[in-house]
Structure 1
């Protein structure tokens, strides 16, 4: 096991639960669509980002950061994340066109899905469990907890204060400072950016 400084990225599809629940007959098409949308995001990610794992309708990525490149790596990650939205919506448009002839609910509701991205920086413990690399620690828990928040928007980029202090604002995006409180983590200061499609 080894502890490393990291930038953590959680990419989550908004509307997934409703999309899957509402599509009992077209469950296979719904899963295919979600997989293709996540794959488009993964394909857009490049060094220094590394895919850690898929978590249902979410993708967990990280980038290792050192003392001499904190700001550079976090800015690069923030820039890449903005491109995730373009990749997601380009693929969604293509899927809508490709599946226009299918009459199932899933294929006709691709446009209902949205993307949210969470960014945090801190420390993670890396451990190998058989062929899998697992990240653990308080900062890994924090980014997962932030998936459950009271932000009313279905689409956003959420930066924790720790990430924002290194990367700064996203050019051309309005944002709102806010906070989320969790019993075991306390209050986390966040910055919520609204991307435009």
Structure 2
């Protein structure tokens, strides 16, 4: 089934105020069952974090129109993004979503156990058509048959729960050879569904499951061959485990060792809680956000995980700091940087960007070691001025 490149979305009707736009809807599969089995008071924070993760993974400048329970309606006015851009956007969202779940599954709480038993995942619909943008008080509302169609496409004949669906309306705007090339990592299939008042709608779809090979597991040692989007650095610190643990969790001290960071702003009353956000101004301009995802302390080791957003090269990343007692007065500190930029074949991100980030994290780890050893020698944490 081949689609013509001509798209009626470019051709406005007479006296029509509609505009061509991409409609992009990631939808959480398994959401209803998960909410039912875990009750809203236990799962609402997790779902909120997952929806935030999806929004943070926006790398093609989509606009958020509305959040509809388990789905987010994004849109982008004007000419359609290329198939490569749309596919990379789907990959980015799926991997960020799955990486976040992987961390939450490790939590020893009831919620972590329920995640293992009830798998949440994503399906994504991309459609291109004409929409009317309406202002209702301070809210933006999208209207038109193409908006209805995009939502209807979430209900289809596809057997599976994690896939990307590209409508005929979008595929008509792309060259067949570009479409084929963008799906070399999986199989692109043909499908269609009959909808009331709309007739039979054709589309193509691909399962996102092969991308699970890129989802990083925090329980195992990573290497470049199996996990190309991670790297690990290690250093021995001449300071006890409990001191190192206090320093890596201390947002106030973050600018003292994280390279390129100027200031850190956070709610001091919540600084030791999982889920706490910290806004960090960078020396070269711009701002990144850090969120504490998990802190687990054992007798001889500590595991600390942060989510970092708004890095220019890596829009979403996870920072693992694992501290292992080497002796009563020494700690083996491991830094793992997990990123899910998936611009396959892009030399800049695969080589230069990775090298630059590895160098930055290497310098940060060295500074962290020096800070810990300085504190140990002086028996006190630096003041805010020194930090």
TM-score tier by shorter-chain length is: 0.7 to 0.9
3-state secondary structure, aligned to 1:39: helix
1:89-116 superposed Cα distances (whole Å, 9 cap, x missing partner): 111112222xx2212xx43232410100
1:55-90 superposed Cα distances (whole Å, 9 cap, x missing partner): 001011011123xxx3x4454233212211111011
CA contact (8 A) 1:63 1:73 kept: no
Task: Tell me: CA distance 1:135–1:3, structure 2 relative to 1, closer, same or farther (3 Å).
Answer: same
CA contact (8 A) 2:60 2:85 kept: no
CA contact (8 A) 2:60 2:89 kept: no
Task: Tell me: CA distance 1:135–1:75, structure 2 relative to 1, closer, same or farther (3 Å).
Answer: farther
Displacement of 1:31 after TM fit? 1.7
Q: How does 1:95-134 map to 2 (within 5 A)?
A: 95-97=104-106, 100-103=107-110, 106-111=111-116, 112-134=119-141
- In the alignment, is residue 179 of structure 1 matched against residue 222 of structure 2? no
TM-score by length of 1: 0.88
Task: Tell me: CA distance 1:132–1:74, structure 2 relative to 1, closer, same or farther (3 Å).
Answer: farther
1:59 equivalent among 72, 77, 86: 72
**CA distance, structure 2, for counterparts of residue 173 and residue 64 of structure 1:** 29
Specify the alignment match of 1:76 in structure 2.
85
Q: Structure 2 regions of 5+ residues with no counterpart?
A: 1-15, 213-387
RMSD between superposed Cα atoms in Å: 1.8
Specify the alignment match of 2:58 in structure 1.
45
The answer to which of 135-144 and 166-175 deviates more is 166-175
**CA distance, structure 1, for counterparts of residue 50 and residue 164 of structure 2:** 17
- In the alignment, is residue 90 of structure 1 matched against residue 103 of structure 2? no
**CA distance, structure 1, for counterparts of residue 190 and residue 52 of structure 2:** 31
Displacement of 1:159 after TM fit? 0.7
**CA distance, structure 2, for counterparts of residue 16 and residue 57 of structure 1:** 6
Displacement of 1:16 after TM fit? 0.7
1:32 equivalent among 42, 45, 48: 45
> Which is bigger in relative contact order (C-alpha 8 A, separation at least 6)?
1
**CA distance, structure 1, for counterparts of residue 169 and residue 152 of structure 2:** 15
Displacement of 1:163 after TM fit? 1.2
- In the alignment, is residue 22 of structure 1 matched against residue 37 of structure 2? yes
CA contact (8 A) 1:51 1:61 kept: yes
TM-score by length of 2: 0.46
1:122-148 superposed Cα distances (whole Å, 9 cap, x missing partner): 011000000111101010000111112
Specify the alignment match of 1:150 in structure 2.
157
Displacement of 1:48 after TM fit? 3.0
1:152-194 superposed Cα distances (whole Å, 9 cap, x missing partner): 1011001111112324243312121010110111111011101
